[in-house]
């Protein structure tokens, strides 16, 4: 009898447990629920419990629950994704924001234009990589944006898009970090490693030879922030350094250096760090003027404006074939000379936005007329601000025709990493003494050549100049060798 009572109690406990399990399964299966058949469970004797006596959950959810489930799923799939500035190549680390094509809250589709940016080398339009809504624009027009940092955020729907974008952002961040890590910075003592801070702050400390242990951090757990080290540097400036700062009166107008002027600042600073030599020469233009006047009308019928510059460019290419070291560049350590196969001759151009130096590709393979066509295209693109990276990269030698504006003599600066540059003054009609000792008038142009004196000696640039002078003064001879 006692055994029967004990078994009955066990069955009752088992029933209560199964009832709780059934309710738990019902609760955890929302919103997609499949009825669970518990079957029958038999005791050690002949007592059993049927599943039919347990509460059976409904096969469909109430409308309110279904609606809530659908809305919750949609919210979970909506994500605000960073839209970073991608690496646009050529070693560019920052760009200026020229224009925004979108506003906060605006819906965009894949390949829609987001903004226009300008680097040291070109103007580029940035397009969206996926559909979504623009959120939290990070920069204003005129601000400087860093490669790998978000330009804005885009609210996107869909797990696949979010996953792919997360991978892209992670890859860009990794690339930016690697660039920062590979910069040549003097080593720092191990004491710095004990300080909590970021790689960017450590780089500033190395550049300014600052012991980070002496900088008081204002971040969590004493972390040294960028603001902390900049304040430390400012506090360490000597009274002499304070005196040499330019004074700014209330009437002064401060203009940030942006766009092509910013690029020129960086390029010329790097160029003047290279030792250079300059050679000048006078060239008689009379015979070239005669030939050009005879060909001008023919070129105009073909829609080409024929100036003297295409002849100068072609003469330069011919001379570079005989002096290939002038069509080279030097590696960063100045241990190797890189000889370039093609003559991609860069032309300095004055544009409404500043100095720019696009290049004509493969001049050695082109006729004077083809060079004139390419030059005209580049000038039109420069005037309208449409020059891109393709027109600006891979130049091997530079020419500057400053004489079209004004000036007789000039000392051009080598456009690194190139090793030589030529510049032309304005053409003048002056009295000269001919071979027979008689005075006559002639059209003279002054040409100046500058070269990287680390690998180019004076004799080489002088021989190059002599050959170029011969090509221009006797252009008929040059025609025999043109391809």
CATH of the domain at 465: 3.30.559.10
159: containing domain = 77-182
> Using omega within 30 degrees of 0 as the cis cutoff, is the peptide bond preceding 207 cis?
no
Q: Are residues 410 and 285 in the same domain?
A: yes
Are the CB atoms for 103 and 85 separated by under 8 Å?
A: no
Q: What is the structure's pLDDT at 302?
A: 94
Q: Domain total for the chain? A: 3
Q: For 36-123, where are the alpha helices, taking DSSP H only?
A: 63-76
Q: What is the structure's pLDDT at 170?
A: 52
Are the CB atoms for 152 and 134 separated by under 8 Å?
A: yes
User: Which conformational region is residue 7 in: left (phi greater than 0), alpha (psi within -120 to 50 degrees), or beta?
Assistant: alpha
Annotated catalytic residues are 453, 457
User: Which conformational region is residue 399 in: left (phi greater than 0), alpha (psi within -120 to 50 degrees), or beta?
Assistant: beta
Q: Are residues 9 and 121 in the same domain?
A: no
Q: Are residues 34 and 101 in the same domain?
A: no
Q: Are residues 83 and 158 in the same domain?
A: yes
Among 44, 75, 106, residue at a domain's last position: 75
Bridge partners for 113 per DSSP: 127
At 411 the three-state DSSP class reads coil
Are the CB atoms for 368 and 69 separated by under 8 Å?
A: no
Please choose, from the candidates 454, 263, 464, the residue with its C-alpha nearest in 3D space to the C-alpha of residue 358: 263
In sequence order, the 6+-apart residues with CB closer than 8 A to the CB of 9 are none
The backbone torsions φ and ψ at residue 311, rounded to the nearest 5 degrees and listed phi first, read -70, -40
CA distance 234 to 212: 15
For 24, the enclosing helix (H) or strand (E) is helix 2-28
Q: What is the 3-state secondary structure (H, E, C) of 233-297?
A: HHHHCCHHHHHCCCCCCCCCCCCCCCHHHHHHHHHHHHHCCCCEEEEEEEEECHHHHHHHHHHHH
CA distance 357 to 335: 27
Residue 250: C-alpha distances to residues 244, 254, 370 (Å): 19, 10, 54
Q: Are residues 279 and 398 in the same domain?
A: yes
For 58, the enclosing helix (H) or strand (E) is none
- Strand 397-400 relative to strand 345-347, pairing: parallel
Residue 59: C-alpha distances to residues 31, 32, 35, 91, 181 (Å): 11, 9, 7, 62, 60
Residue 190 CA, distance from chain mean position: 34
Q: Are residues 61 and 158 in the same domain?
A: no
Q: What are the tokens at 243?
A: 């005196």
- pTM assigned to the model: 0.61
Q: What is the structure's pLDDT at 209?
A: 80
Position 211 in a domain: no
Q: What is the structure's pLDDT at 341?
A: 96
Q: What is the largest CA-CA distance in the chain?
A: 149
CA distance 296 to 310: 12
Residue 440: C-alpha distances to residues 158, 273, 399, 430, 474 (Å): 82, 44, 30, 8, 18
Q: What is the structure's pLDDT at 8?
A: 55
Please choose, from the candidates 113, 107, 175, 104, the residue with its C-alpha nearest in 3D space to the C-alpha of residue 139: 104
Position 111 in a domain: yes
Tens-level pLDDT at each residue, the chain (483 residues): 444 445 555 666 655 665 555 544 444 444 444 444 434 343 334 444 444 444 444 444 444 444 444 444 444 467 889 999 988 766 678 888 989 999 999 999 999 999 998 877 677 889 999 899 999 999 999 888 998 899 999 998 665 544 555 555 555 544 544 444 444 434 444 444 468 888 778 878 887 888 888 888 888 778 888 788 888 887 876 554 444 555 556 677 888 877 777 778 888 888 888 999 999 999 999 999 999 999 999 999 999 999 999 999 999 999 999 999 999 999 888 889 999 999 999 999 998 878 899 999 999 999 999 999 999 999 999 988 888 888 999 999 999 999 999 889 999 999 999 999 999 999 999 999 988 899 999 999 999 999 999 999 999 999 999 999 999 999 988 877 776
Q: What is the structure's pLDDT at 74?
A: 43
Q: What are the tokens at 444?
A: 């003279």
Q: Are residues 369 and 463 in the same domain?
A: yes
Q: Are residues 31 and 124 in the same domain?
A: no
Q: What is the structure's pLDDT at 68?
A: 40
């Amino acid at each position: 009898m006692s055994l029967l009572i004990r078994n009955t109690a066990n069955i009752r406990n088992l029933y209560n447990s199964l009832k709780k399990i059934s309710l738990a399964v019902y609760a955890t299966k929302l919103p997609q629920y499949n009825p669970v058949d518990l079957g029958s469970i038999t005791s050690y004797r002949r007592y059993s419990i049927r599943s039919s006596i347990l509460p059976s959950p409904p096969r469909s959810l109430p409308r309110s629950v279904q609606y809530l489930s659908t809305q919750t799923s949609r919210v979970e799939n909506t994500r605000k994704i960073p839209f970073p500035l991608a690496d646009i190549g050529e070693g560019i680390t920052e760009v200026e924001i020229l224009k925004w094509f979108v506003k906060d809250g605006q819906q965009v589709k894949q390949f829609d234009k987001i903004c226009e940016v300008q680097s040291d080398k070109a103007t580029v339009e940035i397009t969206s990589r996926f559909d979504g809504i623009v959120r939290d624009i990070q920069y204003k027009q005129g601000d400087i944006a860093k490669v790998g940092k978000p330009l804005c955020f885009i609210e996107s729907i869909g797990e696949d898009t979010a996953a792919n974008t997360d991978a892209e952002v992670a890859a860009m961040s990794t690339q930016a970090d690697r660039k920062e890590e590979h910069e040549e910075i003097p080593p720092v003592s191990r004491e710095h490693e004990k300080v909590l801070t970021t790689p960017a702050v450590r780089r500033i400390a190395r550049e300014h030879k600052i012991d980070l242990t002496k900088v008081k951090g204002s971040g969590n757990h004493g972390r040294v922030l960028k603001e902390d080290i900049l304040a430390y540097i400012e506090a360490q400036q000597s009274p002499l350094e304070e005196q040499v700062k330019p004074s700014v009166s209330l009437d002064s107008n401060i203009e940030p250096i942006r766009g092509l002027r910013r690029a020129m600042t960086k390029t010329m600073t790097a160029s003047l760090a290279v030792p250079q030599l300059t050679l000048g020469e006078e060239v008689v233009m009379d015979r070239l003027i005669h030939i050009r006047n005879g060909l001008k009308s023919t070129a105009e019928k073909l829609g080409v404006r024929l100036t003297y510059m295409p002849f100068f460019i072609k003469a330069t290419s011919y001379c570079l074939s005989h002096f290939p070291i002038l069509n080279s560049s030097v590696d960063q350590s100045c241990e190797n000379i890189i000889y370039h196969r093609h003559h991609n001759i860069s032309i300095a151009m004055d544009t409404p936005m500043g100095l720019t130096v696009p290049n004509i590709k493969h001049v050695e393979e082109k006729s004077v007329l083809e060079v004139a066509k390419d030059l005209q295209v580049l000038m039109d693109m420069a005037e309208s601000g449409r020059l891109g990276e393709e027109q600006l990269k891979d130049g091997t030698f530079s020419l500057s025709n400053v004489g079209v504006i004004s000036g007789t003599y000039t000392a051009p600066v080598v456009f690194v990493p190139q090793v030589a540059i030529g510049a032309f003054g304005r053409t003048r009609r002056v009295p000269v003494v001919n071979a027979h000792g008689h005075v006559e008038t002639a059209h003279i142009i002054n040409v100046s050549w500058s070269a990287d004196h680390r690998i180019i000696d004076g004799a080489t640039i002088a021989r190059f100049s002599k050959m170029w002078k011969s090509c221009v003064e006797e252009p008929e001879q040059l025609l025999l060798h043109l391809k």
